[in-house]
């Protein structure tokens, strides 16, 4: 299994009464009241140090993503962070940008260009994430009409792939992107193009795209395998219907993880930061989650059937109930052995070969984050790295220039 240290880059010092004083962590948390640029300068240093540490310690990849006006992740441009990482990850981890929110950019040529720059800069280590994007980012922060969200995503995806693979200049006559001359310099280093990693919260249309284009799909959930199972079962059932194989590397999952020396110690060290995450970082009112028209009828019907665990998570954290958080699977926490066992169980339950490990959680300070990363790298990764080897699948979506630390060893090299 591939382990990617995925950093949300949250504000680590929100006021204690944040969730009662403000309506939302996203879209409207007033920037001059809550976001101190001097503090952010410190966070950015810590965040990048943490990601660079993960590279040195042998993670397979380092992950960043895009959000806007969001207190739990204010990486408005993940490409800026990825550019810095491309130059400071000597151990050749994959640079996983998960991703650029395609629907925001017209012309989407900009994404094709910046991702190509990153791929070249990192010598072919880019995994190009294409999320549909949240309603908060796309509709509320960037003013994209909700009913256009998916159409803009699909058209941008088409344009970007063409820009990477067709000789330029060419004409692109889309609905939202009308271009007489598409001819980005450079095209990416990886051929035919960097692997595309779709990321989503479970829309059925995204799965069909994954199947049709042979992309890998990551479900970015904060609520663990117990709740993710319905959704990932939906994903695999759809793949089966479409005649797609069961290669576990087609799928990824995000998981909040806390590693310590013992299970008891994990609770002592991490509980307050998990509480901070669920209470403050996920303080998002329902009306921002889905602007009318953001979800199609098809996806909405699936969402209604599988329902959302958000409130339960918040309640569990409010009670500072470590047992609930752990038992419900919102977090995987404990000694390295406990964490590894539960991750293997999770990966088998969901059938995922890519783990986006969320190891900096909420208010978690720099030193504790480094401990979490270090214990994970040194004592968890070796226990989970080869869990899929016996099935013999090829990871077709791993960036070609990145170190392939968890590949199945070919028979020849074992001789």
Partner 1 sequence: MTETTSRATALPPHVTERLVPALAGRIQARVLVAGTGDPVLFLHGAGGLIWDPFLEALAAGHTVYAVEHPGAADTDALDQLPGIWELVLFYDEVLDALGLDTVAVVGHSFGGMVAAELAANSPRRVSRLVLIAAIGLWRDDAPIPDIAGVPASRMPELVLADPNSPLAELLTPPADDPQALFEAALRMASILHFVWPLPDKGLRGRIHRVAAPTQLVWGERDALVSPVYAEEFAGLLARSETVLIPDAGHLPQLEQPRLVQDAVLAFLDGPAE
- Beta partners for 200? 219
Question: Rounded to the nearest 10 degrees, how much is the dihedral formed by the CA atoms of 311, 316, 318, 322?
Answer: -150
Closer residue to partner 1 in complex, CB, 28/374:
28
Residue 304 lies near partner 1 (rule: CB under 8 A): yes
User: Parallel, antiparallel, or unpaired for β 126-131 and 170-173?
Assistant: unpaired
Q: Indicate the SS3 state at residue 44.
A: helix
In whole angstroms, what is the distance from residue 57 CA to residue 191 CA? Answer: 28
> What single-letter DSSP state applies at residue 277?
I
d(CA 229, CA 292) in angstroms, rounded, equals: 26
User: What string marks each residue from 154 to 193 as x (binds partner 1 by CB under 8 A) or -?
Assistant: ---------------------x------------------
Q: Does 275 bind partner 1 (CB under 8 A)?
A: no
**Selected range binding partner 1 among 90-98, 146-154, 193-201, 379-387, rule: CB under 8 A:** 146-154
Stretch near partner 1 under the rule CB under 8 A, chosen from 102-110, 281-289, 321-329, 400-408: 281-289
Tokens linked to 92:
């050749």
Largest CA distance in the chain: 64
Stretch that binds partner 1, among 77-85, 219-227, 256-264, 287-295 (CB under 8 A): 287-295
Strand, helix or coil at 62? strand
CB 105 within 8 A of CB 138: no
| 30 near partner 1 (CB under 8 A) | no
The footprint of partner 1 on residues 305-324 (CB under 8 A) is: 307
Give 147 or 268: the residue with its C-beta nearer to partner 1. 147
* Crossing angle (nearest 10°) for helices 204-213 and 297-306: 110
Among 286, 411, 412, 415, indicate the residue that binds partner 1 (CB under 8 A). 286
∠ CA 132-34-291, nearest 5°, is 30
Size of the residue set binding partner 1 (CB under 8 A): 26
Closest to partner 1 by CB, 27 or 57: 27
**Which candidate, 155, 156, 142, 177, places its Cα nearest to that of 291?**
142
Question: Applying CB under 8 A, which of residues 25, 27, 313, 359 lies at the interface with partner 1?
Answer: 27
Residue 187: both structure tokens together = 């095209």
The correct pick among 31, 147, 237, 262 for binding partner 1 (CB under 8 A) is: 147
139 binds partner 1 (CB under 8 A): yes
**Stretch of 125-133, 195-203, 271-279, 291-299 lying at the interface with partner 1 (CB under 8 A):** 291-299
CB-wise, 148 or 208, nearer to partner 1? Answer: 148
Q: Give the residues lining the site for partner 1 (CB under 8 A).
A: 27, 139-140, 143-148, 151, 175, 285-288, 290-293, 295-297, 300-301, 304, 307
């Amino acid at each position: 299994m591939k382990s990617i240290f995925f950093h949300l880059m949250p504000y680590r010092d929100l006021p204690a009464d944040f969730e009662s004083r403000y309506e939302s962590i996203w879209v409207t948390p007033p920037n001059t009241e809550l976001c101190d640029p001097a503090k952010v300068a410190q966070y950015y240093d810590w965040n990048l140090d943490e990601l660079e540490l993960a590279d040195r310690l042998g993670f397979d990849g380092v992950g960043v993503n895009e959000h806007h006006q969001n207190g739990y992740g204010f990486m408005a441009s993940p490409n800026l962070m990825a550019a810095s990482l491309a130059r400071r990850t000597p151990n050749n981890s994959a640079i996983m940008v998960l991703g650029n929110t395609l629907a925001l950019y017209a012309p989407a040529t900009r994404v094709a260009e910046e991702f190509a720059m990153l791929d070249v800069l990192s010598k072919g280590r880019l995994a190009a994430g294409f999320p549909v994007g949240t309603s908060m980012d796309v509709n509320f922060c960037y003013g994209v009409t909700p009913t256009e969200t998916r159409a803009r995503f699909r058209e941008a995806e088409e344009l970007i792939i063409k820009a990477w693979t067709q000789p330029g200049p060419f004409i692109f006559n889309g609905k939202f992107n009308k271009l007489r001359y598409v001819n980005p310099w450079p095209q990416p280093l990886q051929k035919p193009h960097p692997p595309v990693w779709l990321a989503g919260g479970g829309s059925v249309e995204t799965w069909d795209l994954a199947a049709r284009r042979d992309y890998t799909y990551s479900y970015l959930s904060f609520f663990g395998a117990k709740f993710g199972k319905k959704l990932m079962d939906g994903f695999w059932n759809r793949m089966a219907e479409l005649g797609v194989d069961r290669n576990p590397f087609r799928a990824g999952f995000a998981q909040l993880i806390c590693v310590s020396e013992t299970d008891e110690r994990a609770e002592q060290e991490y509980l307050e930061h998990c509480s901070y995450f669920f209470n403050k970082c996920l303080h998002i009112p329902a009306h921002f989650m889905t602007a009318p028209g953001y979800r199609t009828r098809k996806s909405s019907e699936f969402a209604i059937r599988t329902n959302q665990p958000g409130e339960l998570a918040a309640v569990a954290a409010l009670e500072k109930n470590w047992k609930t958080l752990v038992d419900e699977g919102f977090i995987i926490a404990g000694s390295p052995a406990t964490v590894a066992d539960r991750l293997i169980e999770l990966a088998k339950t969901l059938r995922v070969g890519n783990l986006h490990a969320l190891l900096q959680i909420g208010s978690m300070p720099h030193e504790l984050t480094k401990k979490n990363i270090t214990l994970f790298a040194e004592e968890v990764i070796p226990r989970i790295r080869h869990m899929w080897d016996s099935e013999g699948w090829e990871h077709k979506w791993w960036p070609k220039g990145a170190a392939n630390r968890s590949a199945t060893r070919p028979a020849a090299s074992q001789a």
